[in-house]
Every structure is written in C-alpha cells, then in structure tokens.
C-alpha cells in the first residue's frame, strides 16, 4: 500500500526527532561511565517510563491485540504477578545493587562467585540480546514493509539503522530520553486505535463491553483448537496443562529473571539517588498493567468492530486460515484516516525502537565492562573505554541488523525457533545464580557451574519434548519455573560438596548488607 504524503511526513518527523535527540544528548558524553550510565543523574520518573518503554515491544503492539482478537484474556494472567515482582524489586533487589555500588549485573556475579561465572553470564546475555534485537528488527521491518510498501531490506536498514545511529551516538542518555518520548507515542497510538473502534461501533463503549462479555471475550477462557470454542481455564496446580495459578507463576518467574539482568540493574544504578530508583519502580508498577490491559482491550474492540463490519481478513483470521497478527495492520490501513495512520505507524515503530535501543546499550556495556575491560584490556584510560563503548554499540547494532537479514533470507520460522531454543538452553540458570548468591551465604564458582550444567541439561530435554523427540511430562510453559528450581537445588546441594573457603561477603548477600546509606 502506498502511504499518503501526510502519513510519510509524520513518520519522517518521528525519525528526525529521535535522531536529533540522540545528537543533542551525545554532547554530554565524556567517559565510559557517562556513556553507559548518563552520569547517574536521571530522575525516577524518566527511568520509570524508560522501564515501561523497554518492556513494551512490537510484540506487545501487534501480538497482544491479535491474541485478544482471536481468543480472550488468558495470556494476560502472567502480567498479574508483575506488581508483586515490582514490590520485591523495590524492597530487596534495588537496594541490594545500589548498596553494593556495582554498575553491572555481571560485575556482581564476579564479586560473588568469580570471573568464570561472570564471563559465562555476560556471554549468554550478549547472545540473547543480539538474537532478541535481531528478531525485533526483522518483525518491525515486516510490519513497516507491509504498511508502507517499502522492501523489507530497506525497512531493516531504515528502522534498525536509525535506532543504531541515535543509540551509538547518544549512549544511555539517548536511550532513556527517547524511551520517554516513544512510550508516550506508543500509548497515544494505542488510545487512538481504541478511540476509533469505540466511536465506529454502534452503541459505543457500552456495546463493546456487553457484546464482548456475552461472548466471553473479556474472560480468562482459552480457545480450544479442536472445537473452536472458548473454554474456561481451570485453577489449581498442574505441570501438564495451563491453569490460572500456573500462568501467574510463569509470569512471576519470568519477571523476576527480568529484574536480575543488565537492563534493569543499569537503570537502577543510573538513577540520581536510591529514592529516585525506588520511584522508578513505582511508576513501572503503576503504568505497566494498564498499558498491557489497553493492548488486550484493543484486540477485544477490534473483534466487536468486525462483528458489525464484515471483512474477509477478519473472517479468515477467526477461521484460522490467516495469521492473527495481521489484524491490527489491516485495521490501521483500511479504517484510520490520513495523518492518523502515520501517527499509529510511528507508535508501532516506537514500541520496537525503545526495546532495541535499550538492548544495544546494555549489551555494549556488558561487552566493554564485563568482558573487554575485565578480561582482555585492563587499566586503560577513561577515554579508551569511552571509545570502546561506542565501538561496541556499533558492533552490536551491526550484528543486530545482520541477524535481521539472516531471518529474512532464511526459513524464518525455523531459524526463529532455533534461536529461541538456543537462548533458552545456554541461558539456563543465570537468574537462579543471582538468587543463590543474594539469598544464601553458600557456594562458589564450582557449585554455580554445577547448577548451570544441570539446568542446561534440563532445558535441552525440555526442548526435545517440545519437538516430540522425548515423551512430554510437563507443559513447555513451565520450563523457566522448573529450570530455576533445578539451578537453586543443584547449586545449593553442590555447595555442600565443594566447600567454599570463608571470605568477606559484605554487600554480597542480603544477610551481609552494610548499614551505611545507599549510594
């Protein structure tokens, strides 16, 4: 489809704003610390909004409404665990990392368990971030190509390249301030879509609620592929099927892991004070659930809209002959007026770009601080590591764009599954290693590596079950829960076999925190 010049102008203005902001804040970067932490002077409200922007990706913007359109709200259940994770993070995780005066999540692992565990964790994080960002760039390029008529190759270069330019140039300050703008844009885009759907449906908002409720589209029911009907999701504990409690446990486990990675620790350490860091968590907790709910409700609104206005694309999606992810782009291009289309496309791009910029900067910080500076080139000047930071951001960006091209020219589905599997397998146990280190006084590198090995073996078996190469004894949704339990159990058990020498654990466990004020 060829966009109207007004829509192209809106998208161009959005790209120009991001580039201009990156150039503006880059003038304040004079060292590796300012490049990666922005002089540690960010207000809590900005960090909180940046947190939200980093969590809301193109998957949120496209896939969540698609799921609600096709099924109901069952996939919203894992999000209900998020406020508890935010509370735990604000009370324990954030003060722990601020008091320990570390700037990197893997710097903590080095202090607690030694360089081998830290290097492994950093390497896994780099692989995961390059894979994740390449996937997001590719999905963003497909969306952009669909809605603008550009070739996918040019869409990859344009969207991925512009994100890379302002992130490489501006560093973490550019990440935070562009995240703030992008989060506002993507929320505005979501509200615009909902507003148009509500205005166009006969009877408006009350009719949408009534029709959706009558069809169980606002429930936690799930779609039975065999019958094509929405059926209740039962409660209770189970490892063989999805239940409401187990889905919330999955969310709890995944969000805890997310609060123990570099993107989160970097933001906590960049806040101007512990109070501002805690404020950022309050903003994150207060904002995330309503934003996720709005994207779910967007899908519900589209379902009601297409009940009143028959459309072959909507019918094909509900019949299972077309992918659900095409419903939102279809609505944007066929229903929204000129000018608004450009705004909403910019919102979809903002959702992806906020995730990408955060991933690039955090990965480059890990590459420089936890691998290059810690193991390869030590004791150089601040200017040297500042230059290394920019070059590492450029390298991560190039790998990200190259990965997106690989996805495009390969069997995308197979390659995407392979990358997800490899990330899950090699990444097994890292969150458990943090928990073992923070909440016990036991263990050294040998115990942690034993736990990681056991978790990697378990994750490999889980993936083989997914492809029916081994008998399936639990639902693959629960791999993360079981994997972290195995990591903690094996790591703790191994600590009794591999006796760790006594050492000073000040500020390395929650039981040994100093009473000095946090920094």
Provide the pLDDT confidence category of residue 426 given band limits of 50, 70 and 90.
low
Query: Range with the lowest mean pLDDT among 361-365, 392-396, 499-503?
Result: 499-503
Task: Check: CB of residue 352 under 8 Å from CB of residue 53.
Answer: no
What mean pLDDT is predicted for residues 310-322?
Answer: 89
Distance CA 23, CA 262 (A): 24
Choose one of 379, 411, 443: the last residue of a domain.
411
Judge whether 253 lies within some domain: no
Residue with tokens 């020498």: 501
pLDDT beyond 80 at 1:
no
> What domain range includes position 373?
5-43+56-74+109-226+288-411
Residues 68 and 147 in one domain: yes
Distance CA 183, CA 196 (A): 20
pLDDT beyond 60 at 197:
yes
Residues 116 and 21 in one domain: yes
Angle CA 145–146–150, to nearest 5: 30
Distance CA 325, CA 322 (A): 9
Judge whether 519 lies within some domain: no
What mean pLDDT is predicted for residues 39-56?
Answer: 90
Judge whether 264 lies within some domain: no
| Six token digits for residue 360 | 């690039």
pLDDT beyond 60 at 118:
yes
Residue 336 has a pLDDT of 93
Judge whether 192 lies within some domain: yes
pTM for this model (two decimals) = 0.89
Alpha helices, DSSP H only, in 201-258? 204-214, 244-258
Give residue 22's Cα distance to chain centre: 22
402 Cβ neighbours under 8 A, 6+ residues apart: 134
227 Cβ neighbours under 8 A, 6+ residues apart: none
Choose one of 354, 376, 411: the last residue of a domain.
411
How far is residue 410 from each of residues 12, 413, 418, 424, measured CA to CA in Å? 30, 9, 12, 21
Provide the pLDDT confidence category of residue 414 given band limits of 50, 70 and 90.
very low
Residues 207 and 304 in one domain: yes
What mean pLDDT is predicted for residues 78-93?
Answer: 92
Judge whether 134 lies within some domain: yes
Judge whether 456 lies within some domain: yes
pLDDT beyond 70 at 100:
no
Residues 361 and 471 in one domain: no
Judge whether 239 lies within some domain: no
Q: What is the DSSP letter of 42?
A: B
Residues 448 and 308 in one domain: no
Distance CA 267, CA 9 (A): 33
Residues 451 and 396 in one domain: no
Residues 379 and 477 in one domain: no
Give residue 181's Cα distance to chain centre: 18
Residues 469 and 502 in one domain: yes
Task: Check: CB of residue 252 under 8 Å from CB of residue 484.
Answer: no
Torsion of CA 186, 190, 192, 193, to 10 degrees: 140
Residue 506's φ and ψ, nearest 5 degrees, are: -55, 125
289 sits in which H/E element: helix 274-308
| Six token digits for residue 462 | 């889980």
Task: Check: CB of residue 457 under 8 Å from CB of residue 490.
Answer: no
Helix (H, G, I), strand (E, B) or coil at 109: helix
Residue 416 has a pLDDT of 45
What mean pLDDT is predicted for residues 143-150?
Answer: 80
How far is residue 458 from each of residues 228, 345, 448, 454, measured CA to CA in Å? 34, 41, 15, 6
Residues 156 and 35 in one domain: yes
Judge whether 98 lies within some domain: no
Q: How many domains does the chain have?
A: 2
Number of neighbours of residue 171 by Cβ within 10 angstroms: 28
Distance CA 358, CA 366 (A): 12
Distance CA 423, CA 472 (A): 21
**Where residue 332 sits, what CATH number does that domain have?**
1.20.1730.10
Residues 449 and 405 in one domain: no
261 Cβ neighbours under 8 A, 6+ residues apart: 105, 125, 362
Residues 391 and 489 in one domain: no
Torsion of CA 476, 477, 483, 485, to 10 degrees: -130
Residues 127 and 62 in one domain: yes
Residue 131 has a pLDDT of 86
What mean pLDDT is predicted for residues 173-185?
Answer: 91
pLDDT beyond 50 at 413:
no
Choose one of 377, 411, 445: the last residue of a domain.
411
Provide the pLDDT confidence category of residue 50 given band limits of 50, 70 and 90.
very high
Distance CA 133, CA 357 (A): 9
């Amino acid at each position: 489809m060829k966009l109207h010049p007004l829509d192209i102008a809106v998208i161009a203005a959005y790209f120009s704003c991001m580039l201009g902001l990156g150039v503006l804040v880059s003038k304040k970067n004079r060292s590796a610390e300012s490049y990666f932490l922005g002089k540690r002077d960010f207000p809590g409200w900005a960090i909180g909004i940046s947190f939200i922007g980093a969590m809301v990706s193109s998957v949120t913007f496209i896939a969540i409404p698609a799921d609600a359109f096709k099924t109901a709200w069952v996939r919203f259940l894992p999000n209900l665990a998020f406020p508890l994770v935010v509370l735990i993070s604000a009370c324990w995780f954030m003060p722990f990392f601020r008091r320990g005066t570390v700037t990197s999540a893997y710097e903590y692992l080095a202090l607690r368990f030694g360089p081998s565990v830290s290097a492994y964790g950093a390497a896994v994080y780099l692989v995961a971030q390059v894979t994740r960002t390449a996937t997001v760039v590719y999905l963003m390029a497909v969306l952009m190509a669909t809605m603008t008529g550009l070739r996918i190759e040019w869409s990859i270069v344009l969207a991925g390249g512009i994100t890379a330019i302002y992130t490489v140039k501006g560093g973490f300050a550019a990440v935070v301030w562009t995240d703030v703008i992008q989060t506002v844009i993507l929320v505005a885009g979501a509200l615009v879509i909902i507003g148009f759907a509500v205005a166009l449906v006969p009877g408006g908002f009350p009719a949408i609620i009534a029709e959706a409720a009558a069809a169980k589209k606002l429930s936690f029911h799930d779609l039975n592929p065999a019958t094509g009907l929405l059926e209740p999701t039962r409660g209770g504990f189970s490892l063989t099927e999805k239940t409401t409690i187990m889905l919330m446990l999955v969310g709890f486990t995944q969000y805890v892991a997310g609060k123990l990675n570099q993107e989160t620790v970097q933001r906590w350490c960049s806040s101007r004070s512990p109070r501002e860091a805690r404020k950022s968590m309050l903003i994150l907790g207060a904002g995330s659930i309503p934003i996720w709910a709005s994207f779910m409700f967007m899908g519900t609104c589209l379902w009601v809209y297409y009940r009143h206005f028959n459309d072959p694309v909507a019918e094909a999606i509900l019949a299972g002959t077309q992918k659900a992810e095409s419903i939102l782009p279809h609505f944007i291009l066929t229903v929204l007026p000129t000018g608004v289309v450009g705004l909403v496309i910019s919102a979809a791009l903002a959702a992806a770009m906020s995730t990408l910029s955060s991933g690039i900067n955090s990965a480059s910080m890990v590459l420089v601080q936890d691998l290059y500076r810690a193991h390869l080139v030590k004791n150089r000047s601040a200017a040297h590591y500042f230059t290394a930071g920019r070059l590492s951001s450029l390298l991560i960006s190039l790998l990200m764009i190259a990965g997106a091209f690989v996805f495009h020219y390969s069997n995308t589905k197979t390659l995407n599954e392979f990358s997800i599997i490899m990330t899950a397998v090699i990444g097994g146990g890292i969150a458990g290693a943090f928990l073992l280190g923070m909440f016990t006084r036991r263990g050294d590198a040998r115990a942690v590596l034993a736990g990681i090995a056991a978790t990697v073996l378990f994750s490999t078996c889980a993936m083989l079950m997914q492809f029916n190469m081994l008998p399936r004894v639990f639902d693959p949704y629960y791999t993360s829960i079981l994997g972290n339990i195995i990591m903690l159990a094996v790591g703790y058990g191994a600590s009794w076999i591999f006796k760790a020498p006594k050492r000073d654990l000040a500020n390395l466990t929650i039981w040994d925190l100093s009473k000095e004020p946090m920094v």
